[in-house]
Chains A and B, each alone.
Chain A
């Protein structure tokens, strides 16, 4: 297939996955805050860092309260990581792919974009927010189902899977990062019961609580949860699982040996990590490290398969992304 089209379908999948996972991110934070004892909460600001959009947020001189931050993450057109911007970019990419995508996929995305825009006030209202976020996740899953169920297994499908899995690995790691930011002294024993509740929240935000119970048959603990969401071999939202999917995709393509090497590095890093001794800061660093590996995988995919273009000739659907976003790496969006 055309290199340019491969790039567009890859980004379409990434933006969809990003919209879905940002919804999960907001959801998990809201749940965590409800479960936390007063006095321990850091509030909403960590989400701005975790999505790598601190510089945009600061430039807007917004207050850092719940209302403002949720609006920023959900609806802000200037925030390239917002759900609204992600859905818009997904739709713009899909528009260039109308000759490639199944008709139903375009119809669902197009209709949902209109619904999303019309229903935004419900998303900003605390009482209706949960349902609104749930709907985003559901539509994204529906779309994934339509694509899986109707697309031929050609390169187009492969690049869609590559985008989806890379973004999912990245966003799963960010969701774990919320947890590392929201909880203070890790070892403090009187937080024990809350710890469990909070890890359940993380699992639930990844739709993983049932799968966790089925395969781990253990009470939810910090180390087991981390191992499950980062390194489970069977759970489709775990980082390691996503890396394996990427590997399978790459093996169906030609000229993939360079990317496979980069991927192997990420894989090794994740397999060898030990969670037992990690404090919160250590966990945060581990996640940062993992994200650097993922950026490397993206860069080698882009180099191997996407058109090399002079700077300003890039297609308009790629969001430009500012540089440093505080302590966590920015969501990467540009092909370079």
Chain B
């Protein structure tokens, strides 16, 4: 049965495929026509085929359980792609480049002169109270003065069509492997579509990542030894660690494979003896990276790694301490950073934010809790936040107490009603809310993924897209409508 788009409606929302008049937006025209002809039942068949393929390919993510340890779950993919016109994407990409350039300048400034503070744009208290500021990074100059080599920024689109940056993940952002695998699966189930529409490829990422990492090597003359450092198979993103290592042809190492020798260099234990490591793409948080420098009880890290890094004997990506900018309070200053460091006008806006640490703004937040989202500044994965409109009186009262105790730890934002994309539910397409996580690579040069990972809240009306909380994902198409 043909899809009847007149019964698909997303009143008051911005739908990424269906425009206000009920017709498809320009980037989604071919897709919309195709889906209409295919009909609900056939889409269901393709969805099942995709789920089987995912199971067979072993595309998984790990969920922790309090009792049963951890289990592997199949990666949730909704096969209806999310489309973005290339022209719009070009603007977003420019905005991301600009943003990450400013963030890298900021991190480097913080660990050196701290000009931005001296010039009064940022209060010193923000750094002093940041959990991710690492005093032992002071004075270190990593290659190309670049700190956040891999950044995953979360973008959302509001009801009026504006694309905002919601947060910048600078510690160990994950999801890029699913972006690539989603495309593989969707190509398998919708091969016809790739003949008719100009959909830009996404699979260049691992090669770009490798080139960026190799360029950081302290021994550029040789073929550098690049490794991926994982906490191990019980980490929720282990699949991705293994995936990227394999795609790049690098060793996937654990902390116990590495040692820092007397010459200050890092070595891995191989079947042919010790071998020097030049670049470590680490997927372990700062806290666990080096028990000598950070948490002494960490068994995941490598004793002495910070010394080796600070001495320029090994490159770490991301650099330790880069997380200082991965703080939602620092986030509120990114547009100022762009003006300050680059002397440019920000291309992509932030979501308007109130800093609870400032008394006047706290007052406003406390008075308007039921209409705001309040977030811990160092949280991720959607944990520990208050969704005002869905909260009870009691939850708000509890949260207000927390806010008053530690206002620095929170920011508040208006509820942005995320845009929607048609999503297969039962036997039909219904609108579901999405966000988008592109990945930006920075080194001697910058690269932005073509699109990114679209996450979708599968529950009707839900705005929570995190895969750990029942979210799904979609393939993201940057469609060239002119070429």
Q: Interface residues, chain A, CB within 8 Å of chain B?
A: 1-6, 92, 95-96, 98-100, 103, 106-107, 110-111, 114, 155, 159, 253-255, 305, 307, 309, 313, 316
- CB-CB under 8 A for A95 and B271, given A2-B257, A110-B56: no
In this complex, what residue of B is CB-closest to A108?
A: B56
Q: How many residues of B contact A (CB 8 A)?
A: 26
**Which residues of the other chain, A, contact B58 by a CB distance below 8 angstroms?**
98, 106-107, 110
Main secondary structure of the interface of B (DSSP, over half): mixed
Shortest Cβ distance from residue A262 to the other chain B in the assembled complex, whole angstroms: 17
- CB-CB under 8 A for A3 and B270, given A95-B233, A111-B56, A309-B256: yes
**Cα separation A4 to B268 with both chains bound (whole Å):** 10
- CB-CB under 8 A for A96 and B253, given A2-B270, A159-B271: no
Q: Which of A5, A99, A254 has the most CB of B within 10 A?
A: A99
Q: Is the beta-carbon distance between B57 and A107 smaller than 8 angstroms?
A: yes
Give the residue of B233, B243, B299 whose beta carbon is less than 8 angstroms from that of A96. B233
Give the residue of B238, B243, B256 whose beta carbon is less than 8 angstroms from that of A307. B256
In this complex, what residue of A is CB-closest to B250?
A: A99
Shortest Cβ distance from residue A105 to the other chain B in the assembled complex, whole angstroms: 11
Shortest Cβ distance from residue B181 to the other chain A in the assembled complex, whole angstroms: 11
**Cα separation A305 to B273 with both chains bound (whole Å):** 9
Shortest Cβ distance from residue B187 to the other chain A in the assembled complex, whole angstroms: 15
Q: Is the beta-carbon distance between A3 and B233 smaller than 8 angstroms?
A: no
Query: How many pairs, one residue from A and one from B, have CB atoms within 8 Å of each other in the complex?
Result: 68
Shortest Cβ distance from residue B234 to the other chain A in the assembled complex, whole angstroms: 9
Shortest Cβ distance from residue B45 to the other chain A in the assembled complex, whole angstroms: 20
**Which residues of the other chain, A, contact B268 by a CB distance below 8 angstroms?**
2
**Which residues of the other chain, B, contact A92 by a CB distance below 8 angstroms?**
233
Q: Is the beta-carbon distance between B253 and A2 smaller than 8 angstroms?
A: yes
**Which residues of the other chain, A, contact B272 by a CB distance below 8 angstroms?**
155, 253-255
Does chain A have a CB within 8 A of B245? yes
Could you mark each residue 287-328 of chain B with 1 if its beta carbon is under 8 Å from any beta carbon of chain A, else 0?
A: 000000000000100000000000000000000000000000
Shortest Cβ distance from residue A308 to the other chain B in the assembled complex, whole angstroms: 9
Shortest Cβ distance from residue B280 to the other chain A in the assembled complex, whole angstroms: 14
Q: Interface residues, chain B, CB within 8 Å of chain A?
A: 55-58, 228, 233, 238-239, 242-243, 245-246, 250-254, 256-257, 268-273, 299
Main secondary structure of the interface of A (DSSP, over half): helix
**Cα separation A103 to B257 with both chains bound (whole Å):** 24
**Which residues of the other chain, A, contact B245 by a CB distance below 8 angstroms?**
99
- 9 new A-B contacts at CB < 8 Å, known A2-B257, A92-B233: A1-B270, A3-B270, A4-B257, A5-B252, A6-B271, A95-B233, A99-B252, A106-B58, A111-B56
**Which residues of the other chain, B, contact A106 by a CB distance below 8 angstroms?**
58
Q: Which of A1, A2, A5, A106 has the most CB of B within 10 A?
A: A2
Shortest Cβ distance from residue B74 to the other chain A in the assembled complex, whole angstroms: 11
Shortest Cβ distance from residue A273 to the other chain B in the assembled complex, whole angstroms: 33
**Cα separation A111 to B54 with both chains bound (whole Å):** 11
**Cα separation A35 to B242 with both chains bound (whole Å):** 50
**Which residues of the other chain, A, contact B246 by a CB distance below 8 angstroms?**
98-100
Sorted from nearest, which 3 A-B pairs have the closest CB atoms?
A99-B246, A99-B245, A98-B242
Shortest Cβ distance from residue A108 to the other chain B in the assembled complex, whole angstroms: 9
Q: Is the beta-carbon distance between A2 and B256 smaller than 8 angstroms?
A: no
**Which residues of the other chain, B, contact A307 by a CB distance below 8 angstroms?**
256-257, 269
- CB-CB under 8 A for A155 and B271, given A99-B242, A106-B58, A107-B56: yes
**Cα separation A6 to B228 with both chains bound (whole Å):** 17
**Cα separation A119 to B291 with both chains bound (whole Å):** 47
In this complex, what residue of B is CB-closest to A96?
A: B233
Q: Is the beta-carbon distance between A4 and B256 smaller than 8 angstroms?
A: yes
**Which residues of the other chain, A, contact B242 by a CB distance below 8 angstroms?**
96, 98-99
**Cα separation A143 to B483 with both chains bound (whole Å):** 45
- A–B Cβ pairs within 8 angstroms, 27 of them: A1-B251, A2-B253, A2-B268, A2-B271, A3-B270, A6-B270, A6-B271, A96-B233, A98-B242, A98-B243, A98-B246, A99-B242, A99-B243, A99-B245, A99-B250, A99-B251, A99-B252, A110-B56, A111-B55, A111-B56, A114-B55, A253-B271, A255-B272, A255-B273, A305-B271, A307-B256, A307-B269
